Amino acid sequence: NAGVMQNPRHLVRRRGQEARLRCSPMKGHSHVYWYRQLPEEGLKFMVYLQKENIIDESGMPKERFSAEFPKEGPSILRIQQVVRGDSAAYFCASSPSDREAFFGQGTRLTVV
């Protein structure tokens, strides 16, 4: 049973481009979380999804950011028109229910 897979591990985008971050949850997991982490800081909640539904997006900026978790395929975190302040590590975690959550290795986004 493979762990949570995130890709790419590193992503460089120019200001104004779009960033698409992918997260494949562990097999049998229907819950996905996305967190953002700046260097030397904690994990900041962004969005919580269950298959095809957004349960809680209270941590996601209202503009430019969106997330989905389709019936088939990985969860996608999409950042449109990236700015330098979007540079961070983005972590995805998956869970079979409202219990323990397992993290991926993260995607490090650098906006130049």
Partner 1 sequence: GQQLNQSPQSMFIQEGEDVSMNCTSSSIFNTWLWYKQDPGEGPVLLIALYKAGELTSNGRLTAQFGITRKDSFLNISASIPSDVGIYFCAGSFGNEKLTFGTGTRLTIIP
Cis peptide before 25 (omega within 30 of 0): no
Instruction: Give the DSSP per-residue string, 46-95.
Output: EEEEETTEEEE-TTS-SSSEEEE--SSS-EEEEE-S--GGG-EEEEEEEE
Q: Which is nearer to partner 1, 24 or 95 (CB)?
A: 95
Q: Give the DSSP letter of residue 99.
A: S
Q: Which is nearer to partner 1, 25 or 104 (CB)?
A: 104
Q: Which is nearer to partner 1, 80 or 97 (CB)?
A: 97
Please select the residue that binds partner 1; options are 20, 54, 102, 110, rule is CB under 8 A.
102
The residues that touch partner 1, with contacts defined as CB under 8 A, are: 4, 6, 33, 35, 42-43, 45, 48, 55-56, 58-59, 91, 93, 95, 98-106
